[in-house]
Amino acid sequence: MKNNCKIWVQNTILGLSLFIFQVTFAQLPSGTFFFEEQVNQKIITHELHILDNYLTYTMYEKNPAKFIVSRGGFAKVEENLLVVLLEFNSNYQNDELRMLNIPFQQEGQNLVLDIKSKHVFKPKPSLTQDLDGQWLFATRGPDEGQERRGEENPRKTLKILTNGRFQWIAYQTETMKFSGTGGGSFTSKDGKYKERIEFFSKDDSRVGAELTFDYELKENDWHHTGNNSKGKPMYEIWTKRKD
């Protein structure tokens, strides 16, 4: 009887371990991943952010700078597919895509996506800084109780900060109208936010620009002040997006 109980316990533990492994494997990994390929003597960078089950995927050339495409939305893993319900798609007028179903697997820390061909995305080393997370533009400052844009408003400007990389995207969720995006590297420390632009959909000539701003965190708000890319004073208030 004791032996039977012992075997039952061992099998139960083994079963639970396998179940936990399967559930863990089915979860969407977080991180920033890169893949580079050479096409017609040009190097194309594929940049992938996964944060809180939200995914952004952008393609661009560095030299000379050229923006290609950016898409993003809420993502999950279903068996061997990465399923993304798109919130934005810079190429929507041409392809009308609102959902992506991408064959997907993990090889160690790498993500393998079958996007026309096998793309092996390698993770960027993890880096934690102030301001990390997803932010939605709320209003122009200073905060005087004015009406805010938020999750309920179909017109959104989203900014993602993670692993020393940033990306902002302006879009409309109902019509899928895409207004622009830009991104690159950033640092945020002791009230100073600095970013270096590495892709910019509206104007490739802006790539390489470095901008410095002041920031202050007030509860769930990020107060962002300084001069914009055109050199004009700005005061923006961003609010943390709910998970």
> Are 117 and 169 part of one and the same domain?
no
Spatial contact of 215 and 193, defined as CB atoms under 8 Å apart: yes
Q: Are 138 and 238 in contact (CB under 8 A)?
A: yes
Q: Residues, the chain, total?
A: 243
CATH number at residue 95: 2.40.128
Q: Is residue 151 part of a domain?
A: yes
Q: Please say which residue of 69, 100, 123 terminates a domain.
A: 123
Distance in angstroms (rounded) separating the CA atoms of residues 135 and 108: 30
8 A C-beta contact, residue 99 and residue 86? yes
Query: Over 50: is that where the pLDDT of 10 sits?
Result: no
7 within some domain: no
pLDDT at residue 119 in the model: 97
Would you say residue 193 lies in a domain? yes
Residue with the bigger pLDDT between 143 and 177: it is 177
SS3 for 64? coil
Domain count, the chain: 2
Is residue 99 domain-shared with residue 37, that is, in the same domain?
yes
As a whole number of angstroms, the longest Cα–Cα distance in the chain is 80
Those residues whose C-beta lies under 8 Å from the C-beta of residue 205, and which sit 6 or more positions away, are 65
Residue 92 has pLDDT above 80, yes or no: yes
CA distance 179 to 192: 27
Together in a domain, 43 and 81:
yes
1 occurs within a structural domain:
no
Q: Is the dihedral of CA 235, 192, 66, 34 positive or negative?
A: negative
Q: What angle do CA 217, 218, 221 make, to 5 degrees?
A: 80
Q: Which residues contact 31 (CB under 8 A, 6 or more apart)?
A: 49, 50, 123, 124, 126, 163
Of 160, 154, 192, 126, whose CA–CA distance to 51 is shortest?
160
Query: In terms of domains, do 69 and 143 share one?
Result: no
The dihedrals phi and psi of 220, each to the nearest 5 degrees, come to -95, 10
The last residue of one of the domains, among 69, 98, 123, is 123
Of 123, 145, 168, the one marking the end of a domain is 123
233 in the same domain as 153: yes
Q: How far apart are CA 204 and CA 198, in angstroms?
A: 9
Same domain, 116 and 75: yes
Q: Give me the domain span that covers residue 63.
A: 31-123
Q: Are residues 83 and 41 in the same domain?
A: yes
Residues 119 and 142 in one domain: no
The Cα–Cα gap between 196 and 213 comes to 12
Residues 108 and 170 in one domain: no
Q: What's the pTM?
A: 0.86
Write out pLDDT tens, residues 186-238.
999 999 999 999 999 999 999 999 999 999 999 999 999 999 878 889 999 99
Percent of the chain with pLDDT strictly greater than 70? 89
Strands 210-218 and 133-140: unpaired
* CATH code, 208: 2.40.128.490
115/181 same-domain check: no
Indicate whether 109 and 183 sit together in one domain: no
Taking only the tens place, the pLDDT of each residue in 97-136 is 999 999 999 999 999 999 989 999 999 999 999 999 999 9
Start-to-end CA span in the chain (Å) = 49
Q: Based on DSSP, count helices (H) and strands (E) in the chain, helices before strands.
A: 2, 16
Strands 117-123, 221-227: pairing is unpaired
C-alpha–C-alpha distance, residues 43 and 175, integer Å: 32
